[in-house]
Amino acid sequence: MALAPILALKDIRLVMGSQPLLEGAELSVLPGDKIALVGRNGSGKSTLMRIAAGALDPDGGTRFIQPGTTIRYLPQEPDLSGFATTLAYVEHGLTEGNDAFRAQYLLESLGLTGREDPSKLSGGEARRAALARVLAPEPDILLLDEPTNHLDLPAIEWLEAEIRSLRSGLVIVSHDRRFLSDLTRATVWIDRGMARRLDKGFAAFEDWRDQVVEEEETARHKLDRQIVREEHWLTYGVTARRKRNVGRLERLAGLRQARRDQKRATGTVKFNVSEADSSGALVADAEAISKSFGDRAIVRDLSLRVIRGDRLGIVGANGAGKTTLLKLLFGEIAPDEGRVKLGSNLAIASLDQRRAGLSPETSLREALTAGGSDTLIINGQPKHVVGYMKDFLFAPEQAGTAVGKLSGGERGRLALARALALPSNILVLDEPTNDLDLETLDLLQEMLADYPGTVILVSHDRDFLDRVATSVLVAEGQGVWTEYAGGYSDMVAQRGAGISAPAPQKRQKSLPQTASQPPSNPAPAQRAKLSFKQKHALETLPREIETLDARIAELAKKLADGSLYARDPKGFEKLSGELATAQRAKEAAEEQWLELEMLRESLET
C-alpha cells in the first residue's frame, strides 16, 4: 500500500507585482522523503518553501498537512531577536518530549557555546544557531533553504552526517551540488512557474533537465514548421484562391496561440572576462613565510610557487587564515618571516566574499560604471552598460535599482560582473559561488576553464573545487598549510580525510577574522601585556564603531529619500561618498579591534 503524503501543495499560484511567479506548482512530501528543490534564481524556490512552511499564503491552490505532523523551516535570513542567548533561542523550538540536551549538543557541534547574545552574532553564527533550532526537535519534515550558506567545510560535512542520521522528510534548496547529491533521492524542478518531479536524487537531475529542454526545443521547432506550412497553404493553396477555409484558419490561429503560450527556458548568463596582457611565467613565489597575530600562527614556514595558468584552490575551516594568506601572497600585508616575490605585469581582479565594494544605496548602473559614463570597455571593445547588464540576466529597467534591493543571487551576479569587467590576468575569487544558481555556476566554471590567466580560488564548494582547481592548498592547523595536486576529491584521497574542524578552543569573535593591515605596533610573543596605546585603542574603538554605526544609519536614511537624486544630484553623490567612507572606516575599526582583542586573549592565556 502506497504511503500518503504528510505535506502536499496543489495547484499553487502566486503573483509578484504584475508577473506570475508560480502557476500551478505542486509539491508532495512522503514520510522520509529526501527532496532537492532546484531552479534558477528568482524562479520561486524560496517562495514555495515559505508556502510549504505556512509562512506565506498563496493567491490560489491548497496546502494539506497531516494532523500531528511537525515541520521546521530554515529561512535564508533567520530572526533571532527577542532571545537572551543562543541556547534560549534553540530551546524555544523544542516541544514536549524532545531531548533538552540535544539543543546544547547541536550548538557545540556547530561551534557555539549557547551563551552568545543573538544580537551580536555574525551572519554565519546566526545561521548555525538557526540550524541547531530546526534540527533539535527531529521534526517530521525539515525545510532547509540554503543551509550551507556561511558554513565552512567541516560544518558542511558534519551537517551532512547529522541530516543523514535523521528519519525526517527533507526538502533542500542549495547551490552546493555535492550536498544535494549526497542527501537527496528525489528532485523537484521549479521551471517557469511549474514544478516537475524526478524520482531520483540530484545526481541524475542535470541529465534529465537537459533532455527535457532538448525535447521542448524539438517540439517548438516542429510547431514552427507546421505554422509555416499552414501559412503557405492560406496564401498559395488552390482552395484559398476561391475562399478561405474557416476550419484551416481556426487551426492556424490555434497553432499560433500554442506557440505564444510556449515559454522558453530563462536565458543564461554570458561571462566575458576583460583580459589584460599576459603576466610573467612566475606569478608569486613565497619562500618560508610565516605570519602570526600574538601567539596565534596564521601561516608557518610556507613555501609556495604560483605559475601562470595555475588554478589554486584554498580551503580550510573558518578562521584558518585563508583571506590573510591571500593578502600575504599579493603583498597587501608583509610576512613576519620569509619573503614573497611577485611576478611581472600582474593585473589582478578580485571578488571578496562579503561583497564589501557594493554599497546598498548605489544603483546597479553606478556599481558597474563607478558613476562614470554608460560605456564599459570589455576586451578592448566598448559595450553599453545595459547590454553588459543583460549578459548577467539583469533587465534594462533594473539599471536604477539600488543594490540593497537586489536579491542575494542578483548581488552575487553583480559582484561577478564588476570583477570580470576589470582587465586582468589574475582572478582572486573569495567564495564566488555564494548565492549563485546551478546554471550560473556551470557557466562560471566554463569561463574559468577558458580563462588564459591564473585563478586563485577560496571556496567551501567541494564540487566546484573538483571542477576548477588544479591543486588545493589545505589549512592543516597551527599555521601549517599543505598543497595537494588535483581538486577536492583528489585531496581527500591523498590526505585520507576531509577538512577537520580545529580543536574547540575559545569561541572566535563574530567580527571579521583578519585585517587588511597588521596592528601599528604588534607585541612580541614574550611580552606579558599590551602597550598603553593598544589598551587605549581597545577601550575606545567600540565607541568609535558605535558612532560610525549611527552616522551610517543617518546617511542611509537621507539617501532613502526617493526624490533626493532628482532634487539634488550633487548632494546625493556627496552623501553616497560620505556613506562609503564611513563604511570603510567602520570596517577598519572592527578589524583593528579584533586584532587587539585576539592579542589580549593570547597574552592572558
pLDDT tens per residue across span 16-25? 777 788 999 9
Percent of the chain surpassing pLDDT 70: 80
Statement: residue 301 has pLDDT above 80: yes
Q: How many residues does the chain have?
A: 605
* Pairing, β 71-74 against β 471-477: unpaired
How far apart CA 259 and CA 220 sit, in angstroms, is 7
Whole-number Cα distances in Å, 32 to 127, 147, 190, 313, 347: 24, 19, 21, 36, 52
- pLDDT above 90 for 516: no
pLDDT at 274 over 70: no
Q: Which of 146-150, 407-411, 416-420, 504-508 has the lowest mean pLDDT?
A: 504-508
pLDDT tens profile 384-426: 888 888 877 777 888 888 887 777 677 777 877 887 777 888 9
Domains of the chain, start order: 7-70+139-207 (3.40.50.300), 282-509 (3.40.50.300), 515-605 (1.10.287.380)
C-alpha cell at 146: 540554503
How far, in Å, are 142, 251, 389, 403 from residue 407 at the CA level?
24, 43, 15, 9
| Mean pLDDT taken over the chain | 81
Q: For residue 186, give the nearest of 351, 369, 33, 366 by alpha carbon.
A: 33
Instruction: Report the distance separating Cα 417 and Cα 429, nearest Å.
Output: 13
- What are the tens digits of pLDDT across the range 30-47? 999 999 999 887 788 999
The Cα–Cα gap between 136 and 143 comes to 14
- Grid coordinates belonging to 223: 510547431
Tell me the mean pLDDT in the region 79-107.
Answer: 91
Helices (H), 427-531: 438-450, 462-468, 488-495
Least confident of 65-69, 139-143, 435-439, 461-465: 435-439
pLDDT at site 275: 59
Cα–Cα distance for residue pair 165/22, rounded to 1 Å: 33
Biggest alpha carbon distance in the chain? 106
- Please classify residue 241 by burial: count the beta carbons closer than 10 Å to its beta carbon, then call 0-12 exposed, 13-18 middle and 19+ buried: exposed
Residue 52 CA to residue 65 CA, distance in Å, equals: 9
